[in-house]
Chains A and B, each alone.
Chain A
Amino acid sequence: MHRFANPSRFLKIARPLTGWLFWPGLVLLVAGALCGLLVTPADYLQGDTVRILYIHVPAAWLGMAGWSGIAVAAIVQLVWRHPLAAIAGRAVAAPGALFTAICLATGSIWGRPTWGTWWEWDGRMTSMLVLLFLYLGYIALANASPRDGQGGVSPVTAIFGLVGAINIPIINRSVVWWNSLHQGPSITMRGSSIDGSILWPLGFTLLGFSLWFGAIVLMRMRTILARNKVEARLQRLARG
């Protein structure tokens, strides 16, 4: 666990990994989006609006996976006192919040032509909006607590990240537990009710956005580590 606590060890892996994740991720997500726009057939019921699927689902995935990452980082931070975990929590928060917002925006744009409404307070939409507010609270809490020279989030922020994780299974199950306007899950452990001819670009965009998100988190962690280095240097100068 603490093998990577040393920033120079982490950076040795993170530096090359950033590019390896970023460019393949970008190529995949652009290819998936183009195929989703131009190649796949329209849906029998929704027509061309079904193409919003290829970006709406990855955005939801990033928003939820981002908070899951925050929760895992919080456990590692609180139990093992791992400084990189605290930094990872801070690095994930802003892009995670943005993609939660993109999920809500694309869902709203999708809802108008299909359901006939921009917004309804059903279980899925409300719990996703709560996730956005959790992100904003986490970011505010992380910025409000004093910097300790490590650039990570405070233990209180980490605890908030852990507590907020309860919303993730609620979002996932909301369409099963409650009558909702949002349809039930299409892809389950047992199969998919999306026909293969419509489904395949989703694999591209999901994988592409995931790799790309990993690269963004690494970039933001490297930024924090570099700033720590500058700060440590300034402190040494001030003392010396």
Chain B
Amino acid sequence: MNHWAFVIAAYAVTFVGTAAVSWVSWRGMRRAEAEAERAGRA
């Protein structure tokens, strides 16, 4: 059994999750703060 296939699968799962959380959290924050900024000026 090739062990590297398992290692790469585990790292892939983790890094896809990490990247997804980073992206969704950052984008959500930028949008919400931009909207709050506009609401504050209006």
Contact = CB atoms under 8 A, between A and B. Distances in A.
B3 A223 contact: no
A212 to B, nearest CB: 7
Interface residues of B, number: 26
Contacts of B15: 33
- Main SS at interface, chain A: helix
Contacts of A99: 17
Contacts of B3: 46-49, 113
Contacts of B26: 219
Contacts, number: 90
A86 interface: no
A87 to B, nearest CB: 13
Contacts of A199: none
Interface of A: 22, 26, 29, 33, 37, 46-49, 51-52, 55-56, 59, 94-95, 98-99, 101-102, 105-106, 109-110, 112-113, 212, 216, 219-220, 222-224, 226-227, 229-230, 233-234
Interface of B: 1, 3-4, 6-7, 9-11, 13-15, 17-18, 21-22, 25-26, 28-29, 32-33, 35-36, 39-40, 42
14 contacts: A22-B22, A37-B7, A48-B3, A48-B4, A55-B10, A59-B14, A98-B21, A102-B13, A106-B13, A222-B33, A223-B32, A223-B33, A229-B36, A229-B39
